[in-house]
Structure 1
């Protein structure tokens, strides 16, 4: 990786992007030493133009940015840092320095997965989801199989509303199965992303 630090008096802009959600988290500046520290530690480290020193994002708050990948742009004078944040990135407490929520790839699915997780732990008696968890992994897996068959049957007909209903049922029960297996939706999406890159 060749980086041209000469254009910015020894500094290059470093855009930090969430490696999972792809949301832009912040912009900082790096000199050669900051880049080396970032690579060595695995935590995003900038050069502070106001403090005139290196600083690791999260050194005060504990909300470090764990580096997943570093890319350089076509002009070799800007960095793109793919990272996983340990918490809110902005000093104001916002998820990003642009005052945006840093949600997963499918915000409602993330919300629904959270509700499903709470049903697993809280287990209110009247909850269908809690009842599924109480019946165990075999019953949950069976329900996913049943819903998969039902969506195949509906796919052969021309009733889009029924098909969408069965698709929703399948997706819901799949999320329940993921929770039972303690696997997140983002982990499954990461497998798809990895396959896509091959």
Structure 2
């Protein structure tokens, strides 16, 4: 998508969404200078209507919003920016300006699944994921089994770091297995949704 923001219409609303959680954090306004500064410096910057100047979120609190990417809407008069918050976003101390908790980084699973798909479709010799796809479905399934056993073993102890590490390994290899089978996590979730609705 190559849409460009049309700043001839004046200040444009800029909606900030957490890069990992997908939660809407806040909304401000940008002129072209604020938009360009955000992209070049990597910290979300607005045009403050009250201060009548550029204002980088976090310039006094250090609760910056680290810019990751953006999209322009279909009328070129609104901006969606994805960012990583470095603390509470709202000046009140809340996670968002709507008093919502910003929890649940499950959005990253979709990003990771896209990376895995890319490693399958555009293999590189340096990629561990590519090497698994080259070894075939039996090796991938075996790795999922191995990681599941390692997670069960760690579950018997009380080492949080080791347990979470094995849990991450299992989830990663499970996503590789789904891609190898040409299935998506959404299809798995649909099964769970149907089961839940049937109760």
Q: How far is 1:145 from its partner?
A: 3.6
Name the CA distance, whole Å, in 1 between partners of 2:57 and 2:154. Answer: 37
- Number of paired residues? 133
Q: How far is 1:27 from its partner?
A: 0.1
1:76 and 2:76 correspond: yes
Q: Mark the CA change 1:38 to 1:170 in structure 2 (over 3 Å): closer, same or farther.
A: farther
5+ residue gaps in structure 2?
A: 107-144, 185-199
Find the counterpart in structure 1 of residue 88 from structure 2: 88
Name the CA distance, whole Å, in 1 between partners of 2:68 and 2:21. Answer: 13
Q: Mark the CA change 1:60 to 1:148 in structure 2 (over 3 Å): closer, same or farther.
A: same
1:19-38 aligned at under 5 Å gives the runs 19-38=19-38
1:34-183 aligned at under 5 Å gives the runs 34-105=34-105, 145=146, 147-148=148-149, 177=162, 179-180=164-165
Q: How far is 1:179 from its partner?
A: 3.5
Deviations 1:109-164 (A, max 9, x none): xxxxxxxxxxxxxxxxxxxxxxxxxxxxxxxxxxx848559xxxxxxxxxxxxxxx
Deviations 1:21-52 (A, max 9, x none): 00000000000110111111100000001110
5+ residue gaps in structure 1?
A: 107-143, 150-167
Cα RMSD over matched residues?
A: 3.6
Deviations 1:55-97 (A, max 9, x none): 0000011010001101101111100000000010000000001
Find the counterpart in structure 1 of residue 5 from structure 2: 3
Q: Which of 1 and 2 has greater Rg?
A: 1
Name the CA distance, whole Å, in 1 between partners of 2:25 and 2:147. Answer: 41
Q: Mark the CA change 1:21 to 1:45 in structure 2 (over 3 Å): closer, same or farther.
A: same
**What secondary structure does 2:82 align onto?**
strand
**What secondary structure does 2:8 align onto?**
coil
Q: Mark the CA change 1:146 to 1:73 in structure 2 (over 3 Å): closer, same or farther.
A: closer
